[in-house]
Amino acid sequence: MKKIETRKCPLCGGTMVKSKTKRGGYARFFWAPPWKSRTTGMLKPIIEATPWLCLDCGAVMAFVDDETRETLREEYEKERATGIV
């Protein structure tokens, strides 16, 4: 049997379960970095996030993986240091 990924809900402290896919039906969440222009964002214009459902309160939240989050944090800090953001 496949192990189901879980995490603690930040809203109620309940159990959240990860969606089977990022791209299934309406369970697709996008986020676009506001510091990227059309030119710099052409290659990877959006970030796909995985939806998680809280089995206790029913909230659905989108989360990005740790590697993507760290890359975005570095980009943001670089842009902030140059005064663009």
Domain boundary assignment for the chain: 6-81
User: What is the DSSP-derived secondary structure letter of residue 14?
Assistant: -
In tens, the pLDDT along 12-29 reads 999 999 988 766 665 566
Hey, what are 76's tokens?
Answer: 């943001």
User: What pLDDT digit, counting tens, does each position of 41-52 carry?
Assistant: 556 667 888 889
Q: Which token pair is 83?
A: 């005064």
Would you say how long the chain is, in residues?
85
Kindly report the pTM of this predicted structure: 0.69
Q: Which residue has the tokens 């980009």?
A: 75
